Structure 1
Amino acid sequence: MNNLNLVKPTIKLKDEYLSFYQEWKESNEDMVPWVITKDPQNFEGMIEFLINNEEGINLPEGWVRDSTYWLVTESNEIVGAVNIRHQLTEKLLNCGGHIGYGIRPSKRKKGYATELLALALVKTKDLGINKVLVVCDSDNIASKRTIIKNGGIQDKDYIEKDGNIINRFWIEI
Structure 2
Amino acid sequence: MVLTNLSLIKLASEHKQSLLSLVEDFHSAGEYRFQSDLEQIHNDFDVYTQRLLAMEAGVGLSKGMVPQTTLWLVRDNTYLIGKSHLRHQLTPTLKHHGGHIGYIVRPSERGRGYGTRLLKLTLGKARDLGLSRILITCDTDNIPSVRVIGKNGGVLENQLISNVSGVMISRYWIYL
Place the TM-score, normalised by the shorter chain, in its bin.
Answer: over 0.9
CA apart distance, 1:48? 1.2
Match for 1:158 among 157, 160, 163? 160
User: What is aligned with 2:24?
Assistant: 22
Q: Is 1:82 matched with 2:84? A: yes
> What is the one-letter code of the residue matched to 2:149?
I
Contact 1:95 1:158 in 2 (8 A): no
Q: Is 1:45 matched with 2:44? A: no
Match for 1:71 among 73, 76, 80? 73
Map 1:110-149 → 2, pairs under 5 A: 110-149=112-151
CA apart distance, 1:88? 0.3
Classify the secondary structure of the residue corresponding to 2:28. helix
Classify the secondary structure of the residue corresponding to 1:38. helix
Contact 2:156 2:172 in 1 (8 A): yes
Decide whether aligned partners of structure 1 residues 37 and 136 sit closer, same or farther in structure 2, where only a CA change above 3 A counts: farther
Classify the secondary structure of the residue corresponding to 2:158. coil
CA apart distance, 1:36? 7.8
Decide whether aligned partners of structure 1 residues 127 and 37 sit closer, same or farther in structure 2, where only a CA change above 3 A counts: farther
Decide whether aligned partners of structure 1 residues 136 and 36 sit closer, same or farther in structure 2, where only a CA change above 3 A counts: farther
User: What is aligned with 1:97?
Assistant: 99
Classify the secondary structure of the residue corresponding to 1:157. strand
User: What is aligned with 2:170?
Assistant: 167
Equivalents in 1 of 2:46, 2:160: separation in Å?
Answer: 37
Contact 1:4 1:73 in 2 (8 A): yes
Equivalents in 1 of 2:74, 2:97: separation in Å?
Answer: 27
Q: How many percent identity over aligned positions?
A: 39
Classify the secondary structure of the residue corresponding to 2:76. coil
Q: Scaled by the length of structure 1, what TM-score is found?
A: 0.93
Q: Structure 1 regions of 5+ residues with no counterpart? A: none
Equivalents in 2 of 1:75, 1:119: separation in Å?
Answer: 15
Superposed CA deviations along residues 108-156 of structure 1, whole A, max 9, x for unmatched, are 0000000000000000111111100111101100000000000000012
Equivalents in 2 of 1:36, 1:109: separation in Å?
Answer: 24
User: What is aligned with 1:10?
Assistant: 12
Provide the aligned length of Structure 1 versus Structure 2. Answer: 170
CA apart distance, 1:37? 5.2
Decide whether aligned partners of structure 1 residues 101 and 132 sit closer, same or farther in structure 2, where only a CA change above 3 A counts: same
Equivalents in 1 of 2:77, 2:15: separation in Å?
Answer: 11
Equivalents in 2 of 1:58, 1:158: separation in Å?
Answer: 32
Structure 1 moving runs of 4+ over 4 Å: none
